[in-house]
Amino acid sequence: MKMSYYLAVFLMLLLSISCAASTLVETKFKACLLTQLHSNSEFIEENIFTSFSSLYPQVLESLEQNPRWLNSSRKPLLILTPFHESEIQATIQCSKELGLQLRVRSGGHDYEGLSYLSNAPFVMVDLINIRSIEINLSDETAWVQAGATLGELYYKISKASEVHGFPAGTCPSVGIGGHISGGGAGTMLRKHGLASDHVVDAYLIDANGRIHDRESMGEDVFWAIRGGSATSFGVILSWKIRLVRVPPIVTGFNIHRTLEEGASKLIHRWQHIAHELHEDLFIRVIAQNSGDKSKTFQATFNSLFLGGIQKLIPLMNESFPELGLQAKDCTEMSWIQSIMFIDGHNKEDPLELLLNRTTSYKSSFKAKSDFVQEPIPIAGLEGVWNKLLGEETLAMLIMEPYGGRMNEILESETPFPHRKGTLYIIQYLVKWEVNSIEASKRHLNWAKMVYRYMTPYVSKSPRAAYFNYKDLDLGKNKHDNTSYSEASVWGEKYFKGNFRKLAQIKTKFDPQNFFRNEQSIPLLNSHHN
């Protein structure tokens, strides 16, 4: 009895010491900011949230798109919501002075929560107020601040022009800052490549608080941030992007097939042709279970065609007649309506839905990814369907075809190397509602099991993965000076032969490794002490 009393007192003492220590750090940080910002106390009063602030949980959780980490203890000491670049510069300076790490969040979609979680004491900069978008139709470009979402960008483009668009992701609430810095793939990648392939300039704050454009950062750093993890090099303020032309009418369709209706044969056939179709035609496959005990399987052929029905039907009859597409299955619409359509809305729904910064429906999830270079045999596909049917909660494979423009861009042209020779990418996704430790472990194990099963059928040496579908199972930097060779375990999966060049650029541009996280680009010469 006495022992447990002393233990309780000891734990309370420890807790009060750690609280006092964190309060001291917060006080010092605020004092440092006051000095840096020349006594601008208004910013500190209204835009800094400590763990004791009543608004702290709301600000932290509002853009946490994966509830899996809601109960994590690895939360920021302070959250800052700056309006101006000078406030970010001051935050960098004060973080360095106090030995704190910095995390930056633009949309909160980071698959492993790295933009708002850390094992080390850290401050988080939330870019929610840095999100202006300026469209310039005279030279078909736009400046987009890093805190804007894809939905906000698409909406703004559509208000300026009916014949312009941008080739980026399908989820409107994703933040621009991180999306482009990892590549940025969407329904127009076969026609136009990735979002990062269309960046023509950028503003980046380095570890010394200096703001760079393309010219002052140099072509090496400009190369690195377009697909090679911009957070390893600095804080992206904004991207200058080149818009693309889109036709006034595009067409979408969703064709659903069960196993009894021949889904396996259709997907097997899809593997052989999807990457070779006309570049205006993108057909992805979403293979999923029912997410309940009914143990049913459905494959959806979800498509965007950059043109009208009259052109699409003959094209499909020639290249993929097995799907049996008819005009009644198709929906003609504008490009901006197709963004809504692909996101699961009706084309008549108000476009203002694109401005919603949070996902309409949040559930805990885990994702992994693979690239496929040879068609998977039917037996291999049927094996993975069985794994889907064996999972008790919603699980799916999202398979998106490459080819077209993706084949024409060299592996070394940007850090994103998964180009020619890739038939399609697979994202394995499992979602769950009950956020207990036991349930989470069960679903995470399911994801690992499916990933192991797929080993013979996917890319090898390295078994590649997509950086925007971040996956800490692939390996992580365990400490500040993780060696290059340790980091290359995961780095070469994401970046293949480009990983070494990224580390060389990192070493030169951020030699103190200030910008770091569990999967940041390491210093080339880092070693254990």
Q: Are 164 and 140 in contact (CB under 8 A)?
A: yes
Name residue, tokens 């935050």. Answer: 91
Concatenate the DSSP letters of all residues of 147-207 into one string. T-BHHHHHHHHHHH-SSEE----S-TTSBHHHHHHT----TTHHHH--GGGGEEEEEEE-T
d(CA 411, CA 494): 12
CATH of the domain at 387: 3.40.462.20
Of 245, 264, 284, which residue sits at a domain end?
Answer: 245
pLDDT of residue 22: 66
Q: What is the CA radius of gyration of the chain?
A: 24
407-430: b or e for each residue (b if 16 or more CB lie within 10 Å)?
A: bebebebbbbbbbeebbbbbbbbb
Q: Residue 141 belongs to what H/E stretch?
A: strand 141-145
pTM of the model: 0.94
Tell me if 527 is assigned to some domain.
Answer: no
Number of domains, the chain: 3
Same domain assignment for residues 120 and 179: no
pLDDT of residue 18: 47
d(CA 524, CA 529): 15
Tell me if 73 is assigned to some domain.
Answer: yes
d(CA 56, CA 297): 42
Same domain assignment for residues 142 and 71: no
Burial class for 293, CB neighbours closer than 10 Å (0-12, 13-18, 19+): exposed
SS (H, E, C) 230-276: HHHCCEEEEEEEECEECCCCEEEEEEEECCCCCHHHHHHHHHHHCCC
Q: Are 349 and 340 in contact (CB under 8 A)?
A: yes
Tokens standing for 484?
């290059």
pLDDT of residue 12: 53
Tell me if 493 is assigned to some domain.
Answer: no
d(CA 249, CA 186): 18
Same domain assignment for residues 111 and 137: no
Q: Among residues 232, 346, 227, 252, which one has the least CA distance to residue 308?
A: 252
CATH of the domain at 77: 3.30.43.10
Same domain assignment for residues 347 and 453: yes
All residue ranges of the chain with pLDDT < 70 are 1-22, 39, 360, 526-529
- Residue 431's domain comprises 250-457
Q: Among residues 497, 475, 479, which one has the least CA distance to residue 487?
A: 475
Q: Are 483 and 527 in contact (CB under 8 A)?
A: yes
Quickly count: other Cβ atoms within 10 Å of residue 313's Cβ: 17
Q: Among residues 138, 178, 36, 149, which one has the least CA distance to residue 97?
A: 36
CATH of the domain at 181: 3.30.465.10
Angle at 43 between CA 37 and CA 44, to 5 degrees: 85
Same domain assignment for residues 107 and 140: no
pLDDT of residue 44: 79
Tell me if 413 is assigned to some domain.
Answer: yes
Give the pairing of strands 424-432 and 364-372.
antiparallel
pLDDT of residue 38: 83
Which residues, 6 or more positions from 510, have their beta carbon under 8 angstroms from its beta carbon? Answer: 206, 207, 232, 233, 234
d(CA 106, CA 85): 14
pLDDT of residue 13: 45
Same domain assignment for residues 72 and 20: yes
Catalytic residue list:
469
Residue 124 in 3-state DSSP?
Answer: strand
Same domain assignment for residues 96 and 193: no
Same domain assignment for residues 305 and 403: yes
pLDDT of residue 67: 87
d(CA 95, CA 72): 22
Burial class for 56, CB neighbours closer than 10 Å (0-12, 13-18, 19+): middle
Same domain assignment for residues 372 and 432: yes
Tell me if 529 is assigned to some domain.
Answer: no
SS (H, E, C) 417-483: CCCCCCCEEEEEEEEECCCCHHHHHHHHHHHHHHHHHCHHHCCCCCCCCCCCCCCHHHCCCCCCCCC
Of 222, 245, 268, which residue sits at a domain end?
Answer: 245
Tokens standing for 36?
């840096």
Same domain assignment for residues 336 and 374: yes
pLDDT of residue 347: 83
d(CA 256, CA 113): 33
Tell me if 487 is assigned to some domain.
Answer: no
Q: Are 134 and 89 in contact (CB under 8 A)?
A: no
Residues 90, 96, 101, 107, Cα dihedral to 10°: 20
Phi–psi pair at 3, nearest 5 degrees: -60, -45
Tell me if 490 is assigned to some domain.
Answer: no
Does 522 sit behind a cis peptide bond, omega within 30 degrees of 0 on the bond before it? no
Q: Distance from first CA to last CA of the chain, Å, rounded? A: 45
Same domain assignment for residues 392 and 453: yes
Angle at 434 between CA 430 and CA 439, to 5 degrees: 70
Model pLDDT for residues 169-214, shown as the tens digit of each residue = 999 999 999 999 999 999 999 999 999 999 999 999 999 999 999 9
Q: Are 333 and 252 in contact (CB under 8 A)?
A: yes
What residues pair up with 142 in beta bridges, in sequence order?
135, 241
Of 422, 457, 492, which residue sits at a domain end?
Answer: 457
Tell me if 211 is assigned to some domain.
Answer: yes
Same domain assignment for residues 67 and 11: yes
